[in-house]
Amino acid sequence: MQTAVSGLGTSSVVAEGAGESQRFRLPSVDRAMNLLELLASSRRGLTLSELSRKLSIPKSTTYYLVYTLVTRGYVQRTNSGHYSLGFRFADVASASTAGLNLSTLAKPYLRQIAARLNLTTILAVLGGAEAVIIGKVTWARDGDGGGGAWVGRHLDLHCTAQGKALIANLPDDELDKLLTGRELAQSTNKTILSLPALKAHLAEVRANGYSVNDEEHVLGARAVAAPVVDSWGVVIAAISVRGSTHQIPSSRLRELGGEMVRAARDMSLQL
C-alpha cells in the first residue's frame, strides 16, 4: 500500500513538473525557435507560405515572426521571396563555442599549410559587415608583410582576401544589404572603392575559386584565400595565406590559389 502511495506521489510530482514546464514556456519563443531551426535545415530557403505550412501556424503569425527576425538580422529575404538565416548568426557564431570548435578543427590545417608554404596562415569568419580572424599560425621568420593579423581582429571585406572569399558567393541583394551605405575605405591606391567595381571583382573570384589581396589592404603585403563551406554548401569561413610581396610574388598567386582551394575543400569535407 505504501509502495502504491509512493508511486502515486512520484507520478504526481512528475506530472506537476511537466505542467509547470509547459506553463512557463512562451509559445511565441517556441515558434521563433522552430522557425529558425527550420530555416537552418533548408538549403535554398523557404517562402512565407512554406514556413506557415511546415510550422502549422497562420500565415499572419508567420509574417510577424519573420518580420521581427528580419529586423534583428537573424533572418534575411532574397529577391526570389525565400527566407534564410541572416548575417547576425555569424556575429553570434564567431564568439560562441561553435566558432571555437571551428578554430580547433582548422588548427592542424593551418599548421600544415604554414609549414609547407612558409607563410602565415589565417582562418576568418563573417562577423556582420567585417571578417573576423578566429585562427592564425605564423611560420615565416621574416614576417608576413606588415599590417598585423591576430585572432579577434576585424578586417574590411572589400580589400582583404579573407573578406572577398567570404562574400564572393552572396547574391547581389544580400551583398547590397551588407555593404550599401557603408564607405569602402581606401587603405592603399589599389583598394576597390565602389560597390559596382567590387561586384565585378567578386565575379572573377567566383570564377577562379579563390580571392587575392594584391597590396589592397597594406602596401607590400599580399594574401590568397578560399571559402570553406558546410554540408549545405554555405560559406562559413575563409582560409588564407599572407606574406610580403617578396614572399608572394605575382607569379606565385595562381599556385597559392590552388593550394587554398584544396585546403578549403579538405576542411569542408572534414566538416
Region at 128 (left for phi over 0; alpha for psi -120 to 50; beta for the rest): left
- Number of helices (H), then strands (E), in the chain: 10, 8
pLDDT at residue 79 tops 50: yes
Q: What is the mean pLDDT of residues 8-25?
A: 51
pTM above 0.75, yes or no: no
Mean pLDDT of the chain: 84
| 115: amino acid identity, one letter | A
> Which pLDDT belongs to residue 254?
97
CA separation for the pair 133, 122 (Å, rounded): 7
CA separation for the pair 66, 117 (Å, rounded): 46
Task: Tell me which of 80 and 33 has the higher pLDDT.
Answer: 33
Q: What is the mean pLDDT of residues 38-46?
A: 81
Task: Tell me which of 124 and 79 has the higher pLDDT.
Answer: 124
pLDDT at residue 43 tops 80: no
CA separation for the pair 121, 175 (Å, rounded): 26
Task: Tell me which of 162 and 104 has the higher pLDDT.
Answer: 162
CA separation for the pair 102, 256 (Å, rounded): 22
Q: What is the mean pLDDT of residues 129-149?
A: 76
Contact yes or no for 54/67 (Cβ under 8 A): no
Question: pLDDT tens-digit profile of 20-35?
Answer: 556 677 888 989 999 9
pLDDT at residue 91 tops 60: no
**List of domains in the chain:** 2-85 (1.10.10.10), 91-270 (3.30.450.40)
Q: What is the mean pLDDT of residues 42-61?
A: 90
φ, ψ (nearest 5 deg) of residue 75: -135, 145
Contact yes or no for 64/35 (Cβ under 8 A): no
